[in-house]
């Protein structure tokens, strides 16, 4: 596992998570995907808190893929929190949401998201998303060969 | 002359017998007696000087004097008296008559003869002188009379009044030129006429009575209708009386003009009274002291007085105490300057109520421009004031109601906005959340489809395709619904948008608009409009999407886009500075049924079940265009194609 970049995917929707896992499996190029199901868990993971102390198992992510509409703590709160942590000021955050609202997009960018990707309406298109993410944000990052 | 001077006082003091005596000439004998007595006294006093001779010489002057003053008969008496006096007092024998000497007799005879001669001569002389004096006196009187008559004649000729003299039978004896002119006759004609000839027939009955009344010699004034020679009638005022000689004299004045003027004045007064009474304004006329000389019925009724009490009426007494001072001051000012009177104040009416009055008046001036009186109206504006007050109240109530209504509207709008916001949020969340299961359905169906690719049975694959199609349709519906609700809520900032660049960009990037799938031509220059880029993109993508979609199966869509400048007249909100442009999107597709046309922009309105669609697209186009200040429309014929248009304001400064 060491040496391979990790992507943290924050998603409460089981189907989306499954589709994404499949997409990573085929298009991930050795990138590790870690999944958390809500905003609070995301913050816990990122801060190495309760349950996520082991950085071997839960490495600091090279990219955070963040859904917005999350239970407990909203995606925007997670983003805001991240940008307040020196450790995560520069970590790329890609919002992955089904929202097509301009105000959501604007707000995400204002809060420091690097990109806003609308969830595709086709399962197969998740692969394209993963491919584009790699290209844009993780090029040159070591994946599993 | 002497008689005239002394006669009246004597007649009164002494009585008839003395006067009678004098009238009979006894004074002459008194003169004789006096003269002789005077001569006798003188002879007595001068006896020394004359001695005894020449007695009679002393009495000659007395005889002569008497003869001259009192006539010949008195001279003879004086002669006899002188003889007796001389013989008795101065000739020997004294104190007795008749001389005792011859010479004495001679002297006596001479004296008597001389005295008689002197008397006769004096009498003749006196009568001649008297006749002479009387003739002169008569001439003087006649001259005086002539002069007086001439003056009188001049006067009679000059006066404008007609002067007539007639006998008691009514025959005219004299007339002046003015009289002739009045009757339209020559003098000769008048003198041949009688009263009945010149009076109108209806006047004849009272003629005799009037003439009889003249008998008292006083002047009687009366009015008569006269008939001129030409038959016309005039009214004359006659001052007539009977002269001492029994003739009748009349002075006649033609008063027709005066009568006409009086009638005209009365007529005018009747008219202005009629006007005054007929209208509901209190009309008043007052003198310079403010005393009313006339007031119309409605004014009298208002303040509860009669026309007779009008002059006693003091309008200051019915003024409201709060208005009195100012009104009086204003009135004084008006009288001083002669300016118009225009005020509003309150009168206490006969009903005890205060009546608001609008008072207007102007000065009435005579020919010289001097103000002689004031006239005007007092309009009772109670009703007007009441109406005004009611109007004001109604206005206030209305304003209050309006304010309440506005508050209510604001409150309700706010509530409604909250509700709409909640609903919007609800529908957004709903549609948004619906997309996740849809995504799952599609995603996993795709995966299963891949897995089943090698399956031998066709059915499962067909079923999976149907699941996919339904999921896709549902997703489109959800997406469109989301777009619509966003277009309703989202603020559309208007800016200059170049529709040419926008459309070309869309044609390049949208897969379904590519040349391989559709022939889309942009014709001519497309304008820069005032709009919202995202909104316009939505509109065009829907219109073009429809145009591409609604063609007969197998046909390649033919689409033409062009712009047309519009005048102001048909635009929804025309202003001088605004110009409008219509952008047309024309297709050769299946067209729209006539009955469908009016509802084509309505929500969920769909033309055909053979084509995919949610019925939201055109509703979205209309909503977005309206929110950009424009409007939409369509012309279409079923089977031949449709022409949709968007009308928008051209960009500012273009």
Distance of residue A118 Cα from the nearest chain B Cα, in angstroms: 12
Name which of A101, A121, A126 is nearest B438 (Cβ-Cβ): A121
For residue A67, give the chain B residue with the closest CA. B436
| Cβ-Cβ contacts under 8 Å, A100 against chain B | 479, 482
* B219 neighbors B241 (Cβ within 8 angstroms): yes
Name which of B436, B447, B486 is nearest A98 (Cβ-Cβ): B436
The residues with which A70 forms a beta bridge, in sequence order, are: none
Contacts with B233 (C-beta within 8 Å, 6 or more apart), sequence order: B200, B225, B226, B227
Best of A37, A100, A102, A123 to mutate (most B CBs within 10 Å, chain B): A123
Contact A15 B437 (CB under 8 A): yes
The residues with which B547 forms a beta bridge, in sequence order, are: none
The residues with which B376 forms a beta bridge, in sequence order, are: B284, B361
Distance of residue A15 Cα from the nearest chain B Cα, in angstroms: 5
Name which of A22, A69, A121 is nearest B439 (Cβ-Cβ): A121
For residue A101, give the chain B residue with the closest CA. B486
Contact A124 B443 (CB under 8 A): yes
**Tokens linked to B278:** 């007929």
| Cβ-Cβ contacts under 8 Å, A22 against chain B | 447
Best of B439, B480, B489, B535 to mutate (most A CBs within 10 Å, chain A): B439
CA-CA-CA-CA torsion sign (B592, B595, B597, B603): negative
Contacts with B89 (C-beta within 8 Å, 6 or more apart), sequence order: B40, B43, B44, B95
Q: How many Å apart are CA B92 and CA B98, to the nearest integer?
A: 9
The confidence band for A90, taking pLDDT boundaries of 50, 70 and 90, is: very high
Residue A106: predicted pLDDT: 93
Distance of residue A127 Cα from the nearest chain B Cα, in angstroms: 11
Residue A69 contacts B where some CB pair is shorter than 8 Å: yes
Residue B440: predicted pLDDT: 85
For residue A127, give the chain B residue with the closest CA. B443
Residue B307: predicted pLDDT: 75
Q: What is the mean pLDDT of chain A?
A: 87
For residue B438, give the chain A residue with the closest CA. A121
* Percent of the residues in chain A that have a pLDDT greater than 70, as a whole number: 94
Please identify which residue in the block is written with the tokens 């998303």. A129
- Looking at the predicted complex, does its ipTM rise above 0.85? no
Residue A22 contacts B where some CB pair is shorter than 8 Å: yes
Distance of residue A101 Cα from the nearest chain B Cα, in angstroms: 8
How many residues are given for chain B? Answer: 654
Residue B48: predicted pLDDT: 67
**Tokens linked to B295:** 């007031």
Best of B443, B465, B474 to mutate (most A CBs within 10 Å, chain A): B443
Residue B258: predicted pLDDT: 87
Name which of B432, B475, B534 is nearest A99 (Cβ-Cβ): B432
Q: How many Å apart are CA B564 and CA B562, to the nearest integer?
A: 7
Q: How many Å apart are CA B332 and CA B316, to the nearest integer?
A: 12
The confidence band for A145, taking pLDDT boundaries of 50, 70 and 90, is: very low
| Cβ-Cβ contacts under 8 Å, A101 against chain B | 428, 486
SS (H, E, C) B65-118: HHHHHHCHHHHHHHHHHHHHHHHHHCCCCCCCCCCCCHHHHHHHHHHHHHHHHH
Distance of residue B508 Cα from the nearest chain A Cα, in angstroms: 22
Q: How many Å apart are CA B258 and CA B262, to the nearest integer?
A: 6
Q: How many Å apart are CA A57 and CA B583, to the nearest integer?
A: 61
In the predicted model, is pLDDT for residue A123 greater than 70?
Answer: yes
Distance of residue A5 Cα from the nearest chain B Cα, in angstroms: 26
The structure's pTM equals: 0.42
Q: What is the DSSP string of chain A?
A: -TTS-EEEEE---HHHHHHHHHHHHHHSTT-EEEEESSHHHHHHHHHT-TT---TTTSPPPSEEEE-SS-SSS-HHHHHHHHHHSGGGSSS-EEEEES---HHHHHHHHHTT-SEEEEPPSSTTHHHHHHHHHHHHH-TTS----
Best of A102, A122, A125, A126 to mutate (most B CBs within 10 Å, chain B): A122
Residue B16: predicted pLDDT: 55
The confidence band for A46, taking pLDDT boundaries of 50, 70 and 90, is: very high
With 0-12 / 13-18 / 19 or more C-beta atoms within 10 angstroms meaning exposed / middle / buried, residue B547 is buried
Q: How far is CA B216 from CA B167, B213, B337, in A?
A: 16, 7, 58
Contact B439 A16 (CB under 8 A): yes
Distance of residue B538 Cα from the nearest chain A Cα, in angstroms: 14
The confidence band for A122, taking pLDDT boundaries of 50, 70 and 90, is: confident
Distance of residue B449 Cα from the nearest chain A Cα, in angstroms: 11
With 0-12 / 13-18 / 19 or more C-beta atoms within 10 angstroms meaning exposed / middle / buried, residue B96 is exposed
| Cβ-Cβ contacts under 8 Å, A126 against chain B | 443
Residue B188: predicted pLDDT: 92
Residue A140: predicted pLDDT: 64
Residue A122 contacts B where some CB pair is shorter than 8 Å: yes
Residue A124 contacts B where some CB pair is shorter than 8 Å: yes
* B56 neighbors B39 (Cβ within 8 angstroms): no
Contact B436 A102 (CB under 8 A): no
Contact B490 A19 (CB under 8 A): no
Q: How many Å apart are CA B217 and CA A87, to the nearest integer?
A: 152
* Percent of the residues in chain B that have a pLDDT greater than 70, as a whole number: 92
| Cβ-Cβ contacts under 8 Å, A74 against chain B | none
* A8 neighbors A32 (Cβ within 8 angstroms): no
Residue A16 contacts B where some CB pair is shorter than 8 Å: yes
Instruction: Give the count of Cβ contacts less than 8 A between chain A and B.
Output: 51
Contact B440 A22 (CB under 8 A): no
Residue B1: predicted pLDDT: 38
Best of B428, B434, B436, B620 to mutate (most A CBs within 10 Å, chain A): B436
* B545 neighbors B511 (Cβ within 8 angstroms): no
- Beta strand ranges found along B80-228 (DSSP E): 162-166, 172-175, 220-227
Residue B10: predicted pLDDT: 41
Residue B328: predicted pLDDT: 85
Contact A69 B482 (CB under 8 A): no
**Tokens linked to B469:** 């199609």
Mean pLDDT, contiguous 10-residue spans, chain B (654 residues)? 41 55 76 88 76 74 84 85 83 70 80 86 82 92 92 85 90 91 91 91 90 87 91 91 90 89 90 78 82 81 78 78 87 86 87 87 90 87 89 93 91 89 79 81 86 82 85 81 75 87 88 86 90 89 90 88 76 60 92 84 74 81 90 90 92 62
Distance of residue A119 Cα from the nearest chain B Cα, in angstroms: 9
Residue B289: predicted pLDDT: 78
| Cβ-Cβ contacts under 8 Å, B445 against chain A | 123
Name which of B437, B439, B445 is nearest A119 (Cβ-Cβ): B439
Query: Do β-strands A63-66 and A6-10 pair in parallel, antiparallel, or remain unpaired?
Result: parallel
| Cβ-Cβ contacts under 8 Å, B439 against chain A | 15-16, 19, 98, 119-123
| Cβ-Cβ contacts under 8 Å, B474 against chain A | none
For residue A120, give the chain B residue with the closest CA. B439
Collapse the DSSP code of B307 into the 3-class scheme (helix H, G, I; strand E, B; otherwise coil) and give the result.
coil
């Amino acid at each position: 596992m060491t040496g391979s970049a990790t992507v943290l995917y924050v998603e409460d929707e089981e189907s989306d998570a499954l589709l994404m896992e499949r997409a990573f499996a085929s298009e991930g190029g050795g990138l590790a995907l870690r999944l958390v199901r809500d905003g609070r868990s995301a913050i816990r993971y990122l801060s190495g808190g309760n349950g996520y102390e082991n950085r071997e198992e839960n490495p600091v992510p090279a990219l955070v893929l963040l859904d917005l509409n999350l239970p407990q703590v909203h995606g925007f709160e997670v983003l805001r929190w991240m940008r307040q942590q020196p450790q995560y000021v520069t970590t790329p955050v890609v919002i992955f949401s089904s929202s097509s609202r301009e105000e959501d997009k604007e707000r995400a960018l204002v809060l420091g998201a690097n990109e806003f990707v609308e969830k595709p309406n086709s399962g197969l298109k998740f692969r394209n998303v993963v491919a584009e993410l790699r290209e844009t944000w993780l090029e040159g990052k070591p994946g599993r060969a | 002359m002497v008689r005239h001077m002394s006669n009246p006082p004597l007649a009164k003091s002494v009585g008839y017998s003395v006067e009678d005596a004098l009238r009979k000439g006894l004074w002459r004998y008194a003169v004789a007696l006096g003269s002789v007595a005077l001569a006798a006294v003188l002879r007595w006093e001068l006896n020394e000087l004359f001695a005894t001779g020449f007695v009679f010489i002393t009495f000659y002057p007395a005889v002569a004097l008497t003869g001259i003053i009192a006539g010949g008969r008195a001279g003879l008496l004086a002669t006899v008296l002188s003889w007796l006096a001389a013989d008795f007092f101065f000739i020997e024998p004294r104190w007795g008559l008749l001389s005792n000497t011859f010479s004495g007799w001679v002297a006596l005879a001479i004296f008597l003869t001389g005295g008689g001669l002197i008397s006769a001569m004096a009498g003749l002389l006196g009568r001649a002188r008297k006749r002479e004096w009387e003739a002169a006196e008569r001439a003087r009187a006649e001259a005086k009379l002539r002069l007086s008559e001439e003056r009188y004649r001049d006067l009679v000729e000059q006066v404008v009044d007609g002067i007539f003299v007639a006998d008691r039978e009514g025959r005219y004896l004299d007339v002046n030129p003015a009289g002739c002119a009045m009757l339209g006759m020559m003098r000769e004609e008048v003198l041949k006429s009688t009263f009945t000839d010149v009076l109108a027939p209806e006047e004849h009955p009272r003629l005799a009575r009037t003439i009889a009344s003249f008998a008292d010699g006083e002047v009687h004034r009366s009015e008569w209708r006269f008939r001129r020679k030409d038959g016309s009638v005039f009214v004359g005022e006659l001052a007539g009386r009977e002269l001492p000689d029994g003739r009748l004299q009349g002075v006649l004045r033609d008063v027709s003009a005066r009568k006409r003027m009086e009638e005209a004045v009365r007529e005018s007064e009747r008219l202005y009274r009629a006007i005054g009474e007929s209208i509901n304004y209190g009309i008043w006329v007052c003198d310079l002291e403010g005393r009313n000389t006339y007031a119309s019925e409605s004014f009298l009724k208002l303040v509860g007085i009669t026309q007779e009490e009008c002059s006693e009426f003091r309008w200051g007494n019915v003024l409201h105490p709060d208005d009195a001072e100012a009104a009086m001051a204003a009135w004084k000012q008006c009288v001083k300057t002669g300016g118009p009177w225009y005020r509003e104040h309150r009168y206490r009416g006969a009903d005890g109520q205060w009546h608001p009055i609008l008072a207007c008046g102007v000065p009435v001036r005579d020919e010289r421009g001097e103000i002689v009186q004031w006239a005007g109206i007092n309009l009772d504006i109670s009703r007007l004031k009441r109406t005004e007050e009611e109007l004001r109240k109604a206005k206030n109530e209305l304003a209050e109601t309006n304010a309440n209504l506005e508050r209510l509207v604001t409150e309700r709008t706010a509530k409604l906005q909250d509700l709409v916001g909640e609903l919007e949020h609800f529908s957004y969340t709903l549609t948004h959340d619906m997309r996740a299961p849809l995504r799952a359905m599609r995603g996993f169906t795709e995966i299963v489809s891949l897995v089943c690719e090698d399956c031998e049975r066709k059915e499962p694959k067909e079923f999976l395709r149907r699941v996919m199609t339904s999921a896709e349709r549902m997703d489109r519906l959800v997406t469109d619904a989301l777009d619509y609700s966003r277009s309703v809520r989202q603020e559309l900032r208007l800016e200059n948008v170049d529709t040419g660049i926008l459309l070309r960009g869309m044609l390049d990037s949208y897969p379904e608009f590519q040349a391989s799938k559709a022939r889309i031509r942009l014709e001519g220059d497309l304008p820069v409009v005032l709009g919202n880029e995202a909104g316009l993109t939505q509109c065009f993508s829907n219109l073009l999407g429809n145009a591409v979609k609604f063609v007969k199966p197998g046909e390649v869509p033919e689409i033409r886009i062009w712009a047309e400048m519009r005048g102001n007249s048909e635009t929804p909100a025309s202003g001088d500075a605004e110009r409008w442009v219509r952008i047309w999107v024309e297709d050769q597709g299946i067209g729209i049924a006539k009955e469908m046309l009016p509802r084509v922009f309505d929500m969920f309105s769909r033309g055909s079940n053979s084509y995919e669609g949610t019925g939201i697209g055109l509703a979205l186009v209309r909503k977005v265009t309206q929110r950009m200040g424009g409007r939409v429309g369509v012309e279409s014929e079923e089977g031949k194609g449709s022409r949709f248009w968007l009308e928008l304001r051209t960009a500012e400064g273009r």
